[in-house]
Structure 1
């Protein structure tokens, strides 16, 4: 675990050097859904930090469903798109991820980045976008248990 994160059995918080949380990752108790919630401005470094932590969790206990909430993200994180497409997505797919529910941000620049990410990842996962976490989670639950 990196010195900027705290981990317990079901939740990880990743923090910037100056202490604010930029990503919180938690797992539903049945292990079928991992929920990643992102906060504030994201950079290539923070996207990679959160992405690598998700991959680590995936390898420890695989899951097929990810709820990726970008509702509180501001600004673009497009400098990380190539890494997400060429490194993160293939590794997550190989490890078992199949379904990605994206909660879109209110920031227009962050929304444009999410749309670019979805275009790049559309062949790797079944992806749907939502305005709120409840609808995103309902869709993932509706898929049933996936082993």
Structure 2
């Protein structure tokens, strides 16, 4: 992570997801790791909602650089119909999504983002620096 430790609070730490709050930038940094199953994805997304209730921010860096493999197709429907409405209700409107270098994960991301999700701007990036720079501008 590219922030100083004094402004970062570690909120959740699991083997497959870590969530930090960056007080200086006023965003959550979500670091996904490994091969994410449906169950892991759902639990991790619920963790994100818990973090947003504790620190209601408008911006998130969703870092998938350490994710490999394809996501299961079943999670996309749950994300669109169950999770995103609650996510938007928490007041987060900007997501900088740092994609995985893994082609299978990139394909899963493309499939997830083909659904129209109103009231949120999601941009995909190849690195944290560019994602952070964009979030600082919005």
Which TM-score applies when normalising by structure 1?
Answer: 0.82
Question: RMSD of the TM alignment (CA)?
Answer: 1.5
| CA–CA separation in structure 2 for the residues paired with 1:96 and 1:60 | 12
Gaps of 5+ in 2: 1-7
3-state SS of the aligned residue for 1:120?
Answer: coil
Task: State the partner residue of 1:39.
Answer: 33
Report whether the alignment pairs 1:80 with 2:82: no
3-state SS of the aligned residue for 1:82?
Answer: helix
Preserved CA contact (<8 Å) 1:89 1:121: no
Aligned residues: 129
Aligned partner (choices 20, 27, 42) of residue 21 of structure 2: 27
Preserved CA contact (<8 Å) 1:102 1:128: yes
Preserved CA contact (<8 Å) 2:95 2:123: yes
3-state SS of the aligned residue for 2:132?
Answer: helix
| CA–CA separation in structure 2 for the residues paired with 1:115 and 1:64 | 23
- The structure 1 segments of at least 4 consecutive aligned residues displaced by more than 6 Å after TM superposition are none
Report whether the alignment pairs 1:109 with 2:104: yes
1:87-134 deviations in Å (ceiling 9; x for gaps) = 111101011010011111111110011112222254241011100011
3-state SS of the aligned residue for 1:36?
Answer: strand
Gaps of 5+ in 1: 1-8, 15-20
Task: State the partner residue of 1:13.
Answer: 13
1:52-67 → structure 2 map (5 Å cutoff): 52-67=46-61
Report whether the alignment pairs 1:94 with 2:89: yes
